[in-house]
Amino acid sequence: MDSQLKPRILFTRDEIEAVVKRLAAEVSQDYQGKCPLLLGILKGSFVFMADLIRLLDFPLEVEFVKVSSYGRGRESSGKAKLVKGFSSPVKDRDVLIVEDILDTGLTTSVVSDYLREKKPASLKLCALTDKPSRRRIPVTADYLGFTLPDKFIVGYGLDWNQKFRNLPDICYLE
Ligand code: 5GP
Ligand code: MG
């Protein structure tokens, strides 16, 4: 592993906090009075999920799925499959996917396909970050935090070979 890789801050913890607050306000407007199922995609979304749900003051449930994307480091192979599902009922529920980053769109499209088969009442996507220049499958977030340049980011739950998830800021590696 490249031990010389240095994380440089792209978005500070204060900027992240402000954006998560804004997203929570948008989500609250749409789901107030409902009891949505928030579905995080492991592992990267766990920090974002933890901060987001604590700003939502209505009943909700949380589940996680895991998608393997066959690849280490920066590049995925272009294939993805669901490797951990969940047992909570989805039929007729309002489901909100919570994702750390939209890159090619493959991961979220695998999760959306899995959910649509279960016939949710509604299905939306909340993504903390988006790299639109990298998209291969047309996916758009209903709630979006930051738009990113084409840089590999770490921190705030996101990893490089399983490291750097604990950085409180969103960083890129140089
Ligand atoms: P996609 O399937 O949209 O190509 O990629 C989504 C997944 O790839 C994300 O959930 C994340 O795990 C990983 N990913 C994509 N871009 C980055 C990045 O810049 N940094 C990190 N740490 N993970 C990324
Ligand atoms: Mg992820």
1 found inside a domain = no
Give me the amino acid identity at 110: V
The count of domains in the chain is 1
What pLDDT is stored for residue 75 in this prediction? 60
What pLDDT is stored for residue 77 in this prediction? 63
What pLDDT is stored for residue 3 in this prediction? 64
Asked whether 54 and 29 are in contact (CB, 8 A), the reply is no
Task: Kindly state the average pLDDT of the residues 43-69.
Answer: 97
Task: Kindly state the average pLDDT of the residues 156-173.
Answer: 97
135 found inside a domain = yes
Q: Output the CA 168–ligand 1 centroid distance in Å.
A: 18
97, 98, 101: residue to mutate for ligand 1 pocket, most atoms within 8 A of CB = 101
112 found inside a domain = yes
What pLDDT is stored for residue 69 in this prediction? 79
Nearest CA among 49, 9, 62 for reference residue 145: 49
Assess whether pLDDT exceeds 90 at residue 167: yes
31 found inside a domain = yes
Indicate whether residue 76 lines ligand 1 (CB < 6 A).
yes
168 found inside a domain = no
Indicate whether residue 129 lines ligand 1 (CB < 6 A).
no
Q: Which atom of ligand 1 is nearest to the CA of 43?
A: 12
Indicate whether residue 112 lines ligand 1 (CB < 6 A).
no
The first and second tokens of residue 95, run together, are: 């489901």
Indicate whether residue 101 lines ligand 1 (CB < 6 A).
yes
The first and second tokens of residue 152, run together, are: 């590999």
11 found inside a domain = no
pTM for the model stands at: 0.94
What pLDDT is stored for residue 5 in this prediction? 86
Annotated catalytic residue within 14, 103, 113, 159: 103
The first and second tokens of residue 5, run together, are: 């890789």
Nearest CA among 105, 102, 39 for reference residue 66: 39
Assess whether pLDDT exceeds 90 at residue 70: no
Per DSSP, the residues of 43-101 read TTTHHHHHHHHTT--S--EEEEEEEE-S--TT---S--EEEE---S--TT-EEEEEEEE
Q: Output the CA 106–ligand 2 centroid distance in Å.
A: 10
What pLDDT is stored for residue 15 in this prediction? 98
Range of the structural domain that residue 141 is part of: 16-149
Give me the amino acid identity at 80: A
User: For tokens 């993805």, what's the residue?
Assistant: 80
What pLDDT is stored for residue 71 in this prediction? 59
- Note the pLDDT tens digit of each residue in 86-115: 999 999 999 999 999 999 999 999 999 999
Assess whether pLDDT exceeds 80 at residue 170: yes
Known catalytic residue: 100?
Answer: no
Residues 154, 157: Cα–Cα separation, whole Å:
7
Assess whether pLDDT exceeds 60 at residue 72: no
Residues 162, 73: Cα–Cα separation, whole Å:
9
SS3 of 143, please?
strand
73 found inside a domain = yes
Q: Identify the CATH number of the domain in which residue 130 sits.
A: 3.40.50.2020
- CA-to-CA dists, residue 163 to 23, 42, 157, 159, angstroms: 26, 15, 9, 5
Asked whether 5 and 173 are in contact (CB, 8 A), the reply is yes
What pLDDT is stored for residue 79 in this prediction? 81
167 found inside a domain = no
